[in-house]
Amino acid sequence: MNSVVGQPISRVDGPAKVTGHAIYAAEFNLRNMVHAALVHSTIAHGRIDQLDTRDAEQEPGVLAVISHLNAERLPYEPLEKRPPVDPKAGEQLHVFQGPEILFVGQPIAVVIAETVEQARTAAALVQVAYHEQVATTEVRHDRAQPPTEASSKAGRGGGSRGDAEKAFAKAPVKVDMWCSHDREHHNAVEPHATIAEWFGDHLTLYDKSQWVDNVRSEIAHVFGMPAENIRVVSPFVGGAFGSALRTWPHVTIAALAARQVGRAVRLELTRRELYVSVGYRPRTEQHMQLGAEADGRLVAIIQDAVAPTSVYEEYAERTADPVLRTYSCPNVQARYRLAPVNANTPCPMRAPGIATGVMALEIAMDELADGLGMDPIELRLRNYAENDEAKGVPWSSKALRECYQTAADRFLWSRRSAPPRSMRNGRLLIGYGMATAFYPAERAPASVQAILYANDTAVVRTASSDMGPGTYTAMTQLAADTLGLPIERVHFELGDTEMPKAPVHGGSMTLASVGTAVVDACKALMANLPAGEMAEGHGARLRRAGLESLTATGHSEPGDEANKYSSAGFGAVFAEVWVDPDFGTVRVPRIVGAYDVGRVINPKIARSQCLGGMVGGIGMALMEQAEWDARLGRVMNANLAEYLVPVNADVTDLDVTFVRSSDEIFNPLGAKGLAEIALCGVAPAIANAVYHATGKRVRHLPIMPEKLLVD
């Protein structure tokens, strides 16, 4: 039989998705289901003085209006072991437990009605009077309120080696700059939604989630109930990019409302509500200093990153990681500081912190190459990190040189004329830019159940998720090969707490973690298969042994290799831009990326991942920007008309190559994981190309036309 691992198989869940048979959280149509609509605070800080729900309650179809005045008191038991996607310091928002207001958009009431229109109409009639207090809506750098180091509990801080300040002071060549990117929102196609239904003291939640086990454990703690009494179902996720990692307040609200009205309650967030009800990538400002010898060797890297968090939680990112680990440099100092503001808590968004840190580092490296008069690739090769100098251990595999070479060849980098503003096509300025991509590879414990049936089919299941990267497909391929069955005979299931525990579907960990457990489970099945004749099928052996089915479980978790080695995906990204000097508009006619992600299980879907990352990178570089009104503490463009994301017309030629690589030290599959690395490096490659085209360095992304027009 032909092996399917490594083959460009189309998505096994594709037909269900395009025919509408795939059911998303908001689409479960339960009997007797009613609908919820939220009322939000319109002030950034203060307390509710009066809340008048009488008009809302009079509306047709309304069953209840729940607020802090009449909501049940929820225990909100502390989560002793917080999941890795939750902030480690602070307390999650306690919904409807008191009159305090901490940010604009905080849910202050929920209306439950027979139809969603009735609920939303009534929600608009809830009258609120506030006692307003002064709000902090911006990160301030003045003495009154300086940002502070993330508390040790929050983790993810900075790090250092050598004496970076001293080395920087003495360095003959220097770069010293500030750069930033604006707040970004995930804006997945599918809005967040939860349907809650109680059966006595048992609760079922249909939720948009990247981690059903986490929803179960958080809701168990919020309600003070046994986790076994909660089932969370999430078979399909219409994009998430990190926004569905955590359990957000609206999930609690749906469960609370369903208990209070004794019906199944459906709560679907509107596009506008997504800007205040789930997190976002925080605007991050970074002071970057590079010191180098005249030959380009780095002697010092200093980073000082500042980001906002909420006033109730300390959300911290790994912004320091790329600075500490991408290049060889004896003296490195990375700081990460936070400032609480009256806003909802930020959260991971595709390559959280890493994409941000890569951006600052790679723009700074471009400035250094420019200052040295050195080719940007040559500068990176001179500082190639043979080991992970932050951890002081070797990489389990690294083929970054091959990435630079492959991407440069495919891009025809040799055609670049080095001086800025030296390439033109008619009146358009042409620029070539490049950047290194980096994303740490990690694994987490995963369990899988595999069942073989006497009719020669198999079901493989685990409580993982597939928000779009192709988990259903890759896992089916791994199971089919291990079981020696055609791919059509293997059915992979996920997204249900009834299934064996899987790690968070995030951090690019799913393939390496869950995939390894899938192979383990299928191997265990094969080992237990009754003996039979040569060429006798599995089903025939089961039937002869009088078995209808055979079940096995598999498990995987990281081993000692995580201490002896450091693992990461690597890549090189090249971008061409065309800039209109009169209008400041930037087009990206092509992006070329070459990646070392270990073994590729499905080249078609892996390529799709990278295409998506490149499109996201175009957004980060040129368009995506939540416009924050600091007077009011709110996003002004909380919609898809004014918050710009790339559309087909913005995307032209995207070229993806995977260099030969397999990392069996990292895991038996040889796969390092692929998702988030695809976003890393794209925005700085574009920003560097814009500099090359125009001679104008824009360090504050996105590069909107006006930034290129103003001197």
From the list 46, 147, 191, 242, which residue makes contact with ligand MOS (rule: CB under 6 A)?
242
Phi and psi torsions of 541, nearest 5°:
-65, -40
Stretch that binds ligand MOS, among 237-245, 433-441, 516-524, 599-607 (CB under 6 A): 237-245
Phi and psi torsions of 350, nearest 5°:
10, 110
> For ligand MOS, which is the closer residue by CB, 296 or 495?
495
- Whose tokens are 């250092």? That residue is 160
| Other CB atoms within 10 A of residue 98 CB | 12
CB of 358 to ligand MOS, least distance (A): 14
CB of 400 to ligand MOS, least distance (A): 22
Q: Does 147 bind ligand MOS (CB under 6 A)?
A: no
d(CA 99, CA 46): 8
From the list 158, 506, 571, 616, which residue makes contact with ligand MOS (rule: CB under 6 A)?
506
CA angle 152, 154, 159 (to 5 degrees): 60
> For ligand MOS, which is the closer residue by CB, 241 or 570?
241
Closest CA to 84 of 171, 189, 154, 158: 154
d(CA 348, CA 279): 8
Q: Does 503 bind ligand MOS (CB under 6 A)?
A: no
CB of 476 to ligand MOS, least distance (A): 21
Radius of gyration of the chain (CA): 26
Closest CA to 4 of 707, 559, 479, 639: 479
> For ligand MOS, which is the closer residue by CB, 216 or 350?
350
Phi and psi torsions of 406, nearest 5°:
-65, -50
d(CA 355, CA 620): 10
d(CA 120, CA 454): 52
Yes or no: say if 511 and 669 are a contact pair by the CB < 8 Å rule: yes
d(CA 252, CA 6): 42
Q: In the chain, how many H helices and how many E strands?
A: 19, 32
> For ligand MOS, which is the closer residue by CB, 242 or 619?
242
Yes or no: say if 658 and 595 are a contact pair by the CB < 8 Å rule: yes
Yes or no: say if 500 and 447 are a contact pair by the CB < 8 Å rule: yes
d(CA 261, CA 169): 67
Which of the following is catalytic: 285, 317, 362, 676?
676
> For ligand MOS, which is the closer residue by CB, 352 or 598?
352
> For ligand MOS, which is the closer residue by CB, 87 or 242?
242
> For ligand MOS, which is the closer residue by CB, 369 or 441?
441
Stretch that binds ligand MOS, among 161-169, 241-249, 301-309, 411-419 (CB under 6 A): 241-249
| Other CB atoms within 10 A of residue 695 CB | 14
CB of 381 to ligand MOS, least distance (A): 30
**Strand ranges of the sheet holding 100-101, from the earlier edge strand across to the other edge:** 100-101, 46-52, 127-132
Contacts of 202 (CB under 8 A, 6+ apart): 229, 230, 231
CB of 623 to ligand MOS, least distance (A): 19
Closest CA to 3 of 479, 457, 470: 479
> Binding string, 507-526, against ligand MOS, x = CB under 6 A?
x-------------------
d(CA 247, CA 369): 44
> For ligand MOS, which is the closer residue by CB, 106 or 247?
247
> For ligand MOS, which is the closer residue by CB, 352 or 558?
352
Stretch that binds ligand MOS, among 22-30, 240-248, 475-483, 608-616 (CB under 6 A): 240-248
d(CA 470, CA 565): 28
CB of 509 to ligand MOS, least distance (A): 8
d(CA 82, CA 691): 43
Closest CA to 39 of 48, 26, 28, 30: 48
> Binding string, 34-73, against ligand MOS, x = CB under 6 A?
----------------------------------------
> Binding string, 461-500, against ligand MOS, x = CB under 6 A?
----------------------------------------
d(CA 518, CA 464): 11
CB of 505 to ligand MOS, least distance (A): 7
Stretch that binds ligand MOS, among 239-247, 306-314, 364-372, 664-672 (CB under 6 A): 239-247
> For ligand MOS, which is the closer residue by CB, 190 or 576?
190
CB of 352 to ligand MOS, least distance (A): 5
| Other CB atoms within 10 A of residue 594 CB | 28
Site residues for ligand MOS, 332-371, by CB under 6 A, read 348-350, 352
Among this protein's residues, is 676 annotated catalytic?
Answer: yes
Q: Does 245 bind ligand MOS (CB under 6 A)?
A: yes
Yes or no: say if 577 and 430 are a contact pair by the CB < 8 Å rule: yes
CB of 159 to ligand MOS, least distance (A): 21
**Taking the C-alpha atoms of 338, 341, 347 and 353 in order, what is their torsion angle to the nearest 10 degrees?**
-30
> For ligand MOS, which is the closer residue by CB, 64 or 188?
188
> Binding string, 292-311, against ligand MOS, x = CB under 6 A?
--------------------
CB of 241 to ligand MOS, least distance (A): 6
CB of 441 to ligand MOS, least distance (A): 13
Contacts with ligand MOS by CB under 6 A: the residue count is 10
d(CA 479, CA 485): 8
Site residues for ligand MOS, 195-224, by CB under 6 A, read 210
Residues forming the active site = 676
Binding residues vs ligand MOS (CB under 6 A): 210, 241-242, 245, 348-350, 352, 506-507
